[in-house]
A = this chain, B = another copy of it.
Amino acid sequence: MQIAIIGLGLIGGSIGLGIKAANHESRVIGIPRREETIQEAIRLGAIDEGTTDLAKGVAQADLIFVCTPINLIIPVITEIAPHLKKGTIVSDVGSTKQEIVAKAEKLLPKGCYFVGGHPMAGKETTKLSAAEAALFKDRKWLITKTSRTSSKALEKLEMVIGWLGGLTVNLDPKTHDLVVAAISHLPLVLAAALVNTVAAEEQKELMGRCAASGFRDTTRVASGDPILGVDMFSTNQKAVMKMIKSFKKSLATLENMIRARDNEGLNKQLSLAKAFRDQVYINKEDLK
């Protein structure tokens, strides 16, 4: 199988490394934006060969991963669509899916298949140099399924994600976007707002100096790439706004109880939160 990876940053590079590490007979073609990246990716062992020519790079591919920044995914698919051979499967790694999947399904020629994907893995950098074969191991990899999705294409994509150690979850694009708004985009909004709250305090330096593991973990996602964050919010605006609205209600509940010194109510709310969170992470253990 020939697999093309468009965009060789952390995610694209890690997909390449993971495929090569799984030691399958697949040939990996890397298609970065800049010529220099080809040599770096070959040296790292992430690709077998590379080109910056999209049309040439995808021509013989059986499976293509579009791993560019989210705003380039549709432009890239538009550009490669006329050059695909029959039967090619195109996937992406964008963190929102409704818009991308709707457009991509229309762009691909008959006989080619789009299956949207979203690996739930990352680091605090998006550089190729941070790529690693095990980046997706035991991580969720969300895959969107629509009325137009080919089940054969879906299975093939799941197989390759399986090589990378990813755990696939199928869901429709709209549900996907609401789910990630809740578990990924809302946490980023809150983490950034929390850091900015402390940074606005007169005692911010002392607060930073005293900060322990609670603050560190609660705010960790705020150290991610701001550009990725802006992309998430702008491509998933509606769902993110909906989740912020729901969050404000939950916050108001706690705030009112703290104000009223309703310790019984607070204990109940904290116990509910603990129970739900503990169950989420017990379930995750079960899955491994």
Chain A contacts to B: CB under 8 angstroms = 120-121, 139-140, 142, 169, 171, 175, 178-180, 182-184, 186-201, 203-204, 206-224, 226-227, 229-230, 233-234, 237, 240-241, 243-244, 246-251, 253-255, 258-259, 261, 263, 266-267, 269-274, 276-281, 283-284, 287
11 example contacts (A-B, Cβ-Cβ < 8 A) are as follows: A183-B207, A187-B218, A189-B258, A190-B190, A191-B218, A197-B246, A197-B247, A215-B280, A217-B217, A222-B274, A223-B281
Instruction: Say yes or no: A212 contacts B120, CB within 8 Å.
Output: yes
Q: Which B residues are in CB contact (< 8 Å) with A182?
A: 197-198, 201, 203, 207
Q: Which B residues are in CB contact (< 8 Å) with A253?
A: 193, 196
Task: Given contact pairs A182-B203, A223-B281, A227-B267, enumerate 18 new A-B contacts (beta carbons under 8 Å).
Answer: A121-B212, A183-B212, A183-B214, A190-B194, A191-B273, A192-B254, A193-B247, A193-B250, A193-B251, A193-B273, A196-B253, A199-B272, A199-B276, A208-B280, A214-B220, A217-B221, A226-B267, A230-B266
